[in-house]
Structure 1
Amino acid sequence: MTKKDPYAALRYKEFNTFLLLRFAMVFAWSMQFIVIEWQVYSITKDPLSLGLIGLMEVIPAVSMALFAGHIVDQKEKKGLLLKCILAFSVISFGLFLLTWPAVVQDYATKTILYSIYILVFLGGLVRAFLGPTIFSFLSLLVPKKVYPNAATWSSSVWQIASVAGPAVAGFSITLIGVHWSMCSVFACSIFAMLFLSQIEKKPIMNPKIGEPVMQSLSEGLKFVFNNKTVLGAITLDMVAVLFGGAVALLPIFAQDILKVGPEGFGFLRAAPAVGAFITMLITAYVPVSKNAGMKLLSAIFAFGICIIVFGLSTIFWVSLAALFLSGVFDGISVVIRQTILQLKTPDHMRGRVSAVNSMFVGSSNELGAFESGLTAKLMGTVTAVVFGGSMTLFVVLTTGIISPTFRKLDLTKDLEEHENQE
């Protein structure tokens, strides 16, 4: 076997441009989410209102996911991606107007809150198409033999942007206010469109153009549910993240428990992504293909422990460390899952499989936010976080016991086969 090249995917110019585009969009989306979380809690002081942000986004994202995957597989990816970015820019501009001080003063809190929820709902609709489009577009920019490396670098950039977005949001709220922070989000979407313009159109990798919608959607679902490796990884991560969604309650911890203000909130929100990014860099050199199943189970178990520690902590640096380590272990999960999806999915089904993945894993973040907000309302903030972390541990232990096949999953041979392709 040839020596692993950790920079294989970076040797392709269009892939590098794609990484810049991905950074701009993830940075904008994560920054926007933080700004809106802060604004909503500031005007309502209600933990359930934070959970509803996630619910408003996940409803359209999940309900439209399969149809979006079908459209992505049928359409030219660059044009579709441009439409997604344009729609996001319009939504971010609308949120910019809703956070303008004059608007906040002149209109009732409920009017502003419901308007924000409507735009978040529309953002979820855009996300239903954006995720599968980006996943499919990536595979058109590099040869199949470097898919695992491309997935690692793409995930790394996602983590960098996830670090920068919350951190910048925290400081920008303090320095320039919520409304100008939203203006920065809008500017990022413009940069994303500029980066996209530097990438050529790619052929549609689908031999079944014109295929009936229901048949197409059915094939995507059948593929995922018949592939136990793909289904196991997606399901495990979905359930674990669903119950480990403590980050949705960070505005409460920052304002009422740790009392660290918007700057501390930005650091807390960025800490998991910092840990995950470090993991991504390490896995670019040291892949996690060997004993992947056991590593995935162990990583999510450790993630649950970190969430429990965070929930119990009343010391800022302990909370920060717990969130950082949760990101380290979550990063391992992301790399393994993305590698499985890239290696196991046929080219002509990438949109639909990514859509199913979005329904499971993508939605779990927002559903987890709603679950955290609801349980915080019913049980109290600290109890809700500890409960979520405990449920994560329970799910991992149950999976490890009842599924020895998944526990023994190894991706070494799959990686070697793809790396040896011409």
Structure 2
Amino acid sequence: MRKPSDAGARAGWRAWFARHALDLSPLQSPGFRLLYTARLVSVLVYGVLGVAVAWQVWSLTQSSFKVAGVGLGLALGTVAGLLWGGVIADRANRRTVMVAGRAAYVLVVLVLLLNSLQPTPQLGWIYAATVLSGLAGGISAPALMATLPTLVPGHQLPAAGALGALAEQLGRLTGPLLAGLLIAHGGSSACYALALAGAVLTPLLLLRLPALPPPQAAAATARVGPWQAWRESARFARGNPVVGGLLVLDVLMALCATPWVLLPQLGVQAFAGDAQLVGMLHAAPAAGAFLAAAGSGWTRRLDRPGLLLIAAAVGWGLALLCVGLASQPWLALALLVLAGAFDTVADIVRGALLQRHTPDALRGRISALWLLEMHLAPALGGLALGGAAQRASAGLALVGGGALCALASLLVGARNRALRATGWQR
């Protein structure tokens, strides 16, 4: 006979799980299921290609500097694509924009595959494909982000953001592992062949989305030039304290505390580790992000998500500050897991609030503005922290950057009452 206390404990665990487990309700929408499946395929393709391209460039040149050129080409192409993609997403059929961008990506992967099959693959073709990859992604990404609120109800946006974060972390974890296996048995060409299959599948999935006509205000937007359209979105961001605060916090987190460039120096100099430890340091934030996304069900019941966003930004800075002070590698790994969790919680809340507080006619450009920050701010922050680490140490650079991030985020939160008080509804 079961004891009443046992039944009560099981009921308590079920209630706890229901409150914290990943909310799958957005998957009830057929349109969102198609979009999410396409995103899962895309992030897996990105994860495989990232390793395959880096490995091929290294194999051809034995130069880390030339490997870094891949990231530079991708960033330049993405920025150029976002400048156009944000405007196009507010003027054209968003399904058409997404399908066109993903179809162009098929050509990018095809170029990489054909080049890899040559007796002597050409570095120039790899760089050209990298730039075009960023361009195609930059054009289609704002339309994808702006489409989300039309496929799920507003109260499900946090859950949709959590599912998106989960897909991204799965791609980061499984894509490189799969690429390593493929390279070991078939070289970079095997990676490109698999990526080509995924790249072909993505636009086919997006074609099955419901019609996504331009926003009702698109006709008025179309009468102005692209730069005027961007100025309109910038005025909106400055004038809306919630949207402006979201973007400012994102910039602060990236500019002041971007740890990735410091992890090799930290692992080798601070902890006397090797490449295996450095790899673990890189993987730790992804593990924390995955756990945070998987247990994000509680975010949908928040009355003041803006306050949580401020707390997450402060927590990100403090966690990295403590990484800089850590004396043992296991402690640094645990703190990086915690930092990854803070970062993902911030992304989930930020993305949902940004979509809820931005009019449909501006969602493409505001989404592109956020994506521009996500590409440029970490690059600039990495340069600043890398320079500080070269003059002092990686640990001191993390301490200074983390402290600045936490203090600046607190200041933004203290001065922005609208952001502190905002909820999921407008």
TM-score, normalised via structure 2 length: 0.79
Q: Which runs of 5+ in 1 are unaligned?
A: 105-110
Q: Conserved in 2, the CA contact under 8 Å of 1:241 and 1:392?
A: no
Cα shift at 1:292? 1.9
Are the structure 2 counterparts of residues 250 and 123 from structure 1 closer, same or farther at C-alpha, using a change threshold of 3 Å? farther
Deviation of residue 276 (structure 1)? 0.9
Equivalent residue for 2:423?
Answer: 414
Counterpart-to-counterpart distance in 2, 1:32 and 1:255: 27
Alignment gaps of 5+ in structure 2: 1-17
Please state if 1:75 is matched with 2:92: yes
* Of 177, 184, 188, the match for 2:194: 184
2:24 alignment partner in structure 1 = 7
Q: In the alignment, what sits opposite 1:278? A: 291
Q: Which residue of 1 aligns with 2:79?
A: 62
CA contact (8 A) 2:145 2:367 kept: yes
> What letter is aligned with 1:26?
V
Distance in 2 (CA, whole Å) between partners of 1:359 and 1:267 is 28
For the 8 Å contact 1:85–1:192, the answer to whether it is kept is: yes
Higher relative contact order (CA 8 A, sep 6+): 1
| Percent identical residues | 23
Partner of 2:371: 358
Q: How big is the shift at 1:51?
A: 3.9
Q: Distance in 2 between matches of 1:33 and 1:57?
A: 10
Pair 1:233 & 2:246 matched: yes
d(CA) in 1 for partners of 2:261, 2:312: 23
* Corresponding residue for residue 48 of structure 2: 31
Which residue of 152, 164, 170 corresponds with 1:160?
170
Q: Give CA deviations for 1:391-416 in whole Å, capped at 9, x if unaligned.
A: 243233234246513489435x522x
- The answer to whether the 8 A contact 2:314-2:410 is kept is no
In the TM superposition, what are the counterparts of 1:14-413 in structure 2 within 5 Å?
A: 14-44=31-61, 46-100=63-117, 102-104=119-121, 112=123, 114-209=124-219, 210-213=222-225, 214-242=227-255, 244-247=257-260, 259=274, 270-287=283-300, 289-290=304-305, 291-305=307-321, 308=324, 321=334, 323-367=336-380, 375=387, 379=390, 383=393, 387=397, 390-401=400-411, 404-406=414-416, 409-410=419-420
**Distance in 1 separating the partners of 2:146 and 2:116:** 35
CA deviations 1:174-198 (Å, max 9, x no partner) are: 3432331222222211221232233
Partner of 1:108: none
Q: Which entry has the higher C-alpha Rg, 1 or 2?
A: 2
Q: Is the 8 A contact 1:74 1:206 kept in 2?
A: no
8 Å Cα contact 1:52-1:370 kept in structure 2: no
| 1:96-116 per-position Cα deviation (integer Å, ceiling 9, x unaligned) | 344447324xxxxxx51x433
CA distance in 2, matches of 1:386, 1:49: 29
Instruction: Return 213-222 or 280-289, whichever deviates more.
Output: 280-289
CA RMSD for the aligned pairs? Answer: 3.7
Deviation at 1:366, TM superposition (A): 4.9
TM-score by length of 1: 0.80
